[in-house]
Structure 1
Amino acid sequence: MSLLKNVGTIGGLTMVSRLFGFIRDMMLARVLGAGGVADAWQLAFQLPNIFRRLFAEGAFASAFVPLFNRRMAGTEEITEARKFAEEVLAFLIPVLIVFGGLALIAMPWIAGLFANEGIEADPELRDLAVLMARVAFPYLAFMSLATLFAAILNSLGRFAAAAAAPILLNLCMITALVIGISLGEGMEARRMTGFYLSIAVTVSGLLQLLWLWWFARRAGFRMSLKRPRITYGVKELGILILPAVFGAGVYQISRFIDLFFLSTLPDGAYSFLAYADRLNQLPLGIIGIALGTAILPALSRHIANEDTDSAQRLQSNAIELAMLLTVPAAIALFVTGSAFTSAFYTGGAFTIEDAMATGAVVSALVVGLPAYVLVKVLVPNFFARKDTRTPVFTAATSLLLNIALNFLLVPRFGVVGLALAGSAAAWTNAGLLYVILARKGHFRMTARVVSRIARIMLAAILMGAALWFAMPYGADWYTGGVLERVGAIIALVAVGAITYFALAAMLGVVNGETLARLTKRQA
């Protein structure tokens, strides 16, 4: 299957999930607003989610897939791979039970560590945040097990089921919000809505686990539960996972740092960042996560077979495709962030002032969007070679820079400064990863790829200028009726898309040769 088709499958289903996520967050903004219960809910939701992305999706998947593929290489039999997966599953279950139990006991301390001034000042709100976090935290265990089945399916070349699973989370949360709306308005209704949301998160984790387990069985990969043992395969996985937490999970570690600095900011900061990150996550999920997920199994196979040329070509295509789609998305959101946040979120408990503050955070976040995607694309090159030490070095360097910039920027610019610090750290991480790959001779961009990226950036900058001139014409529509808001956003998207792709075609970035290369079937 070609790289473009794999990315299209994962990205298309991820886009559906993100669209449901937009609907979810639009409802959240109107029902909970910003600050108060909304901040308490965002804190409770972030805790299991960050752990999930850090350990389950980030470190576990990056370490498991190369080891799993190595056991499948050169043979059509999957007995050895199945045995390895069963050993990992048997060991993972008790670890998750123990970790989850300890987290539930320590939740008052964990939530208190990251609670902002508004939550700390209200004992009832603080207790609500702890309760919601406890109810939602089993989501981590369910999703960690689900990630195992997702990694197996991705390694077998079946990307659709895992890409579609997050839709269940958004559907469960939308259902909880509909129930919350039926409760009416007022503080008690908001508190109950937050509690129902936490239940919905845990239920969605169980549903996603059952969904992926069923698709794995349907693919012929049936696993049985065994007695937990620390086998050679489990040890090998453990050795790779610990540094992988830093290498593949730098973005999520940064989120922990963000939570700490958010706790020093006034009421509403959690909500502004969460709503802004929804816009940032749309291209990051569709492009970055899709590319990283699609190329890791293929890179592992090419490197295991010592096919250097194919590995080089796959990495180049991934970077070019990432920049082709991510750079214009970042520049468009940088220019039009406030228009999107006004159109999507304003209404009910969410004011226009809240929307403008969120828009400023969007503009700061997307500065680092291409870098986050590049990290997703470059890290698999290290993990496919079982090199987890190098990403540790680059991650540690970028994290130190992130912390230093947070101390410098957050007191001056608040949550916007926090977003800018994360963007600068992401570019540092991406730059270091590429330089080290080039020095080790594993990958180096050719002059052709560099030239194409330069033309992509030129086309995107000119598109940004067109959007900047077009923005004021829809100023009154961004907060108007539903049809006015939809029309204004569609108009902006149309101006950006037509301008960018017309310029990209004129500059020779998008042509038949590009499509032929990206749609070429991977071995």
Structure 2
Amino acid sequence: GALSTAFVTTFSRRIATEGDRSAWDLASKVATLTLVFMSAVSLLGVVFAPVLIDILAPGFPAEKAELTVVLTRIMFPFILLVSLAALVMGMLNARHVFGPPAMASAFFNLGSIIGGVTLCYWLDPQPDWRHPHFGERGLVGLSIATLIGGLLQLAVQLPSLRRVGFRFHPDFKWRDPGVRTILGMMGPAMIAASAVQVNVAVNSIFASGLGDGPIAWLNIAFRLMQLPLGIFGVAVATVTLPFLAEPIIQLIYQHGRFTHEATIQTAAALRFYAIGLAGYSADKVLAPAFYALDKRHLPMFVSLTSIAVNFSLNWFFTFHLHLGHRGLALSTSLVAITNFFFLYSMMRHYTKRLETGAMLKTIGKLLVAGTVLVAICWLASDFFFMRYPHAPGWQNLLVMLVTICCGAGAFFSATYLLHVAEVHDLVDLLQRRIGRGGSPEPPKGD
């Protein structure tokens, strides 16, 4: 993300000021630098994988650590592929080509899933393919499939890149002012963006000393926390996840070796992650605004502070309050909320125009609307999921979809009746689009 954002800004400026040829020369220089640097990082990762695992998972037993080293070595080249894919995405976006970059992540998922399933059955044949129990060879297959997905994510964009005029040639003239500008913009943005991943890694370090399950429980819960954001929004996800965490995880993951106990523990982590959803999402909105104000170092300092705060909270929750993996999820949420308050305070200081009173009024309305959603989720959880814990999967899926859709519909209806401005803007936008699509535009006058 940091590479793509920094590149698009500089690349677009180069097109406007010096023309296409100069811009493509800059693209070749950045692509060469990315290829060389990320290849070196991948090689170092492969060589020093045992050291990394000792640092990131000190609590792993020897056999598990050895397997983790093998998987790490297989997947480390993925960072080269994803970096090149991000760079190509930036080139295409700068040339106003958005379709293939938007589809790239779908090809990554397809490659990872189809390749993973195929390689699992090929490397680790099963006596009953309908009820597989994959071992270490299956994990190796999934790791290789990750590389296949990364390769597809890059490859699907290359034909479009060629059509817009790019012809790659190795160029090692990295003293170009454009290259220096990109690197200067990338540094703070990359550090700010990496704080979340660093905090996740720190959580894994603490979780590795809590037994076999906590790392997997936290990773699954963290992924599920991010899943609803693009579908239902922060407010709906924040309310629904605490109530529907267990049935959601049971439906998706409780198969094979993923037991009911693992479902309960993962749901506990997801509930604590849900506390920080609003802060996590607000951080993603506020941080880029500082780059527009040319205050890109401020989010970096906040992110560095958050790493120290997260480590301290992890230590306190794990060793003093003995909250286990739930404390690690809670610390992540508290850090996200703290980051929001820091960033919001600084943004208010620099812009002098943030309407805090209006925001608090809107939050109050959302809380009122949220009670409707809470009631629906609570009723569904109490009257169905708790009473019929062993219902068929399709029945659980149907009830869950109906619950979420009804709850979301009730929530947005309540916000509309409470005159939440953003909801009215959304309704007006939809009405205009439907109106345009349903009838031809009137002829324009001379």
Short-chain TM bin: 0.7 to 0.9
Amino acid at match of 2:93: N
Please name the residue that 1:71 is paired with: 14
Please name the residue that 2:195 is paired with: 250
Rg larger in structure:
2
1: distance between equivalents of 2:285 and 2:195?
Answer: 14
Matches within 5 A, 1:56-455: 57=1, 59-72=2-15, 77-115=19-57, 117=59, 120-123=60-63, 125-175=64-114, 176-181=116-121, 183-184=125-126, 189-218=134-163, 220-230=164-174, 231-284=176-229, 286=230, 325-411=233-319, 412-441=322-351, 444-445=354-355, 447-455=357-365
Q: Deviations over 1:182-211 (max 9, x none)?
A: 722799941111011111111211111111
1: distance between equivalents of 2:173 and 2:266?
Answer: 49
Q: CA deviation at 1:347?
A: 2.3
1: distance between equivalents of 2:162 and 2:314?
Answer: 47
2: distance between equivalents of 1:511 and 1:481?
Answer: 37
Q: CA deviation at 1:363?
A: 0.7
1: distance between equivalents of 2:364 and 2:93?
Answer: 33
1: distance between equivalents of 2:197 and 2:431?
Answer: 32
Asked if structure 2 preserves the Cα contact closer than 8 Å seen for 1:280 and 1:369, the reply is yes
Structure 2 vs 1, CA of residues 401 and 443 (structure 1 numbering), >3 Å: closer, same or farther? farther
Which TM-score applies when normalising by structure 2? 0.86
Which TM-score applies when normalising by structure 1? 0.74
Asked if structure 1 preserves the Cα contact closer than 8 Å seen for 2:412 and 2:423, the reply is no
Asked if structure 1 preserves the Cα contact closer than 8 Å seen for 2:234 and 2:277, the reply is yes
Deviates more, 1:438-447 or 1:377-386: 438-447
Amino acid at match of 2:105: P
For the residue of structure 1 that corresponds to 2:156, the secondary structure is: helix
2: distance between equivalents of 1:446 and 1:188?
Answer: 54
Asked if structure 2 preserves the Cα contact closer than 8 Å seen for 1:479 and 1:485, the reply is no
2: distance between equivalents of 1:233 and 1:442?
Answer: 33
Amino acid at match of 1:488: V
Amino acid at match of 1:280: M
Q: Deviations over 1:120-157 (max 9, x none)?
A: 3243x322211111111111101101000112233444
Kindly, what percent of the aligned residue pairs are identical?
A: 26
Q: CA deviation at 1:514?
A: 4.1
Q: CA deviation at 1:221?
A: 4.3
2: distance between equivalents of 1:498 and 1:515?
Answer: 13
Structure 2 vs 1, CA of residues 246 and 448 (structure 1 numbering), >3 Å: closer, same or farther? same
Q: Note if 1:485 corresponds to 2:396.
A: yes
1: distance between equivalents of 2:7 and 2:118?
Answer: 38
Higher relative CO (Cα under 8 Å, sequence separation at least 6) belongs to 1
Q: How many pairs were matched up? A: 422
Q: Deviations over 1:337-379 (max 9, x none)?
A: 1121122222221111111111111111121112111111111
Asked if structure 2 preserves the Cα contact closer than 8 Å seen for 1:272 and 1:354, the reply is yes
Asked if structure 2 preserves the Cα contact closer than 8 Å seen for 1:343 and 1:478, the reply is no
Structure 2 vs 1, CA of residues 373 and 241 (structure 1 numbering), >3 Å: closer, same or farther? same
Q: Note if 1:499 corresponds to 2:410.
A: yes
Structure 2 vs 1, CA of residues 474 and 122 (structure 1 numbering), >3 Å: closer, same or farther? farther
Is there any run of 5+ residues in structure 2 with no aligned partner, and where? Answer: 434-446
1: distance between equivalents of 2:411 and 2:315?
Answer: 37
